[in-house]
Amino acid sequence: MSGNSFGTLFSVSSFGESHGPAIGCVIDGCPPGLPIAVEEIQAELDRRKPGTSRHVTQRREPDEVEILSGVFEGVTTGTPIALLIRNQDQRSRDYGNIAETFRPGHADYPYWQKYGVRDFRGGGRSSARETAVRVAAGAIARKWLLQRHGVVIRGYMAQLGPIEIPFVSWDEVGDNPFFAPDASIVSELESYMDELRKSGDSIGARINVVASGVPVGWGEPVYDRLDADIAHAMMGINAVKGVEIGAGFASIMQRGTEHGDEMTPEGFLSNNAGGVLGGISTGQDILVSMAIKPTSSIRLDRRSIDKQGSPVIVNTHGRHDPCVGIRATPIAEAMLALVLIDHALRHRAQCGDVATTTPRIAGLAPQGRQSVPSPRIR
């Protein structure tokens, strides 16, 4: 087990390299009887697909998914669901010089030293291409979470480099290639990206994800807290360098009287906790925010070394996203779905008989921006 499986009860075992024959996964533990169509998975994949705007990589991959097992007559059978996506657009020549040198900020160097062998074409296993698999698996998790528990998972870009993006409405997120929740800022984002692309450089971003409708009680108390597993999931996405739950780093300067979310019979009065207390969901929205670093494959000259340890100048002319954060929203949503379904099943396993007479309360704030504590989004 080398860390290519995710989840304890709803587990995804992923495979595939950027320029190999295919990528895909085996999903084990999916509850039986869930109606799922290949089109539903495809729809999620299409949200993450490359080549859909000039701001992302121009690699042409249809990302067409095939269900190989585990679904019979339109419903899951409880046996493993295998998903297969054939790679189509492999221009290996783009990556010729990477074979002998190491891109700064890229996994090239540690991969080589770890394994002593690597498929360098397009980054091989370290490529963000693998994240298509997560989105596909996440589509099934989301379907179950919605159907069984009414859970809705949505994300958006909250910042692109220096540009903070105000939260206006969930409705605007799907209408632009940035997943920005404010249509009026899109032209500014486009100008910024056009200039960046011309410069040959790359930039970071912030992505926020929110899960609404999560019942109280999911998660575990100590090491596998719900927020700890979310942090694991998010930091396990390529290029993520930081993860916050609820108030996140703003908590440092908060006093207890400000941070601790008060409760009334009508619901919680704030959500600094981000929907998790003591590692267990509270019934409020789960609020997650993450930092995405700038792409390491850039056209500009960078100092590095080659396999012999000699100094070289590296620049990368393959097809790369100048901001990997632009396509990260569906990936982050998928990972959150995978964490939640896993904990939903873990909770049912141990606590399936529990019932208290204490009323269950939720957050009082309406869905959307208001439920996200302002210091975190700015």
- Binding-site residue ranges for FMN: 125-127, 238-239, 278, 293-297, 319
> Among residues 4 and 53, whose Cβ is nearest to its own copies?
4
Q: How far apart are CA 125 and CA 110, in angstroms?
A: 13
- Least CB distance to its own copies at residue 151 (A): 15
- Least CB distance to its own copies at residue 44 (A): 19
With a CB cutoff of 8 Å and minimum separation 6, the contacts of 288 are 208, 209, 210, 230, 234, 243, 244, 245, 274, 332, 336
- Residue 286's identity, in one-letter code, is I
- The owner of tokens 């080549």 is 51
148, HSE (Cβ side, Cα atoms, 13 Å) = 19
> Among residues 78 and 175, whose Cβ is nearest to its own copies?
78
Taking the CA atoms of residue 124, residue 130, residue 132 and residue 137 in that order, the dihedral angle to the nearest 10 degrees is: 150
> Among residues 102 and 179, whose Cβ is nearest to its own copies?
102
> Among residues 8 and 367, whose Cβ is nearest to its own copies?
8
- Least CB distance to its own copies at residue 171 (A): 25
In contact, 97 and 57? CB cutoff 8 Å: no
Q: How far apart are CA 122 and CA 86, in angstroms?
A: 15
> Among residues 37 and 253, whose Cβ is nearest to its own copies?
253
- Least CB distance to its own copies at residue 70 (A): 7
- Least CB distance to its own copies at residue 231 (A): 4
- Least CB distance to its own copies at residue 289 (A): 8
Nearest to 272 by CA among 296, 251, 241: 251
DSSP at 317: -
Per the annotation, binding residues are: 48, 54, 125-127, 238-239, 278, 293-297, 319
User: Judging by beta carbons within 10 Å of its beta carbon (0-12, 13-18, 19+), is residue 367 exposed, middle or buried?
Assistant: middle
Per the annotation, binding residues for NADP(+) are: 48, 54
Q: Which residues of 187-223 are buried (b: 16+ CB within 10 A; e: fewer)?
A: eebbebbeebeeeeebbbbbbbbbbbbbebbbbbeee
> Among residues 47 and 149, whose Cβ is nearest to its own copies?
149
